[in-house]
Amino acid sequence: MISVQNVHKRFGSQVVLDGVSIEIEPGKTTTVVGPSGVGKSVLLKLIMGIMAPDSGEIFIGGDNITKARSEASKNKIRQQLGVLFQSAALFDSLTIYENIRFPLLERAGLSSSKAHGKVLAIAESLSLGPYLANYPEQVSIGIRKRVGMARALITEPKVLLVDEPNTGLDPLDGQEVYDLINACKNQWGFTGLVISHELPEVFQVSERVAMILGGKIIAEGTPAEMIASTDPAVQQFLNGRTDGPIKIQ
Ligand SMILES: Nc1ncnc2c1ncn2[C@@H]1O[C@H](COP(=O)(O)OP(=O)(O)OP(=O)(O)O)[C@@H](O)[C@H]1O
Ligand SMILES: [Mg+2]
């Protein structure tokens, strides 16, 4: 569904991605893990076409986003992607109804009347009906995450991208987000790509895991295979140890 092929990205003299290749299989959720600063968010931005790689190519459903020149052609490819940002990134000045509706008006170009039924339907699926007239600051963080999910899924994307689902959440709210991702996956059946350093919790939403370190994917497999890995860097990261091949900054 997404194919990342030998991608390189540097900022000045800092090499961040040094030949990253990964295949995101359709219908499954892949989690990219790794310590802070290894380039996980950069990889996500490259996939979304917000940033361009120095070399290498990225295909989304067969379309090469690294070769797309105009914003219009990038946007066409981006229609396959829904994005759930860290802290949900809602618009504070819009009601929850307007936040959920936003991509339909702005990206899919629907009229308000056509969008109305879709907003009500997804709000119903995610139990957001009672909150539609509220503003984001009036509801809990768990509900805000559900609104973010509704906004990401309302255009029925093939792929859901999630960057750090749980940053800033306490463990209970965090668990709610994982349950939400799994429930939505069952209902909408998307391909998932989740970026996280929350281990092993994130494994509950992952069918595949890839670990980035030193600009490369150093290990890849099912959660069980990662846990059983004998790679010292994988074990150090999984167990949160300070001693080992990963340098703690
Ligand atoms: N636009 C940019 N300009 C310069 N450097 C950047 C830019 N974006 C990212 N970087 C650098 O690239 C490196 C990787 O950043 P990135 O945000 O991808 O890390 P990450 O793996 O997502 O970390 P975290 O787990 O903390 O979110 C960092 O050293 C960061 O400072
Ligand atoms: Mg990040």
Encode pLDDT of 7-53 as tens digits: 999 999 999 999 999 999 999 999 999 998 999 999 999 999 999 99
Q: How many CB atoms are closer than 10 A to CB 155?
A: 17
For atom 29 of ligand 1, which residue has the closest CA? 37
Mutate to test the pocket of ligand 1, among 8, 16, 86, 194 (most ligand atoms within 8 A of CB): 16
Ligand 1 pocket, residues with Cβ under 6 angstroms:
11, 16, 34, 36-42, 197
For atom 20 of ligand 1, which residue has the closest CA? 37
The ligand minimizing its distance to the Cα of 215 is 1
The rounded Å distance from CA 168 to ligand 2 centre is: 13
Split at pLDDT 50, 70, 90, the class of 193 is very high
Encode pLDDT of 138-188 as tens digits: 999 889 989 999 999 999 999 999 998 887 777 888 888 899 999 999 998
For atom 5 of ligand 1, which residue has the closest CA? 11
67-85 core/surface letters (b: 16 or more CB in 10 A; e: else): ebeeeeebeebbbbbbbbb
What tokens were used for 126? 């995610």
Encode pLDDT of 194-246 as tens digits: 999 888 889 999 999 999 999 999 999 999 999 999 999 999 998 888 888 88
Number of H helices, E strands in the chain: 8, 10
> How far is Cα 221 from Cα 230, in angstroms, rounded to an integer?
13
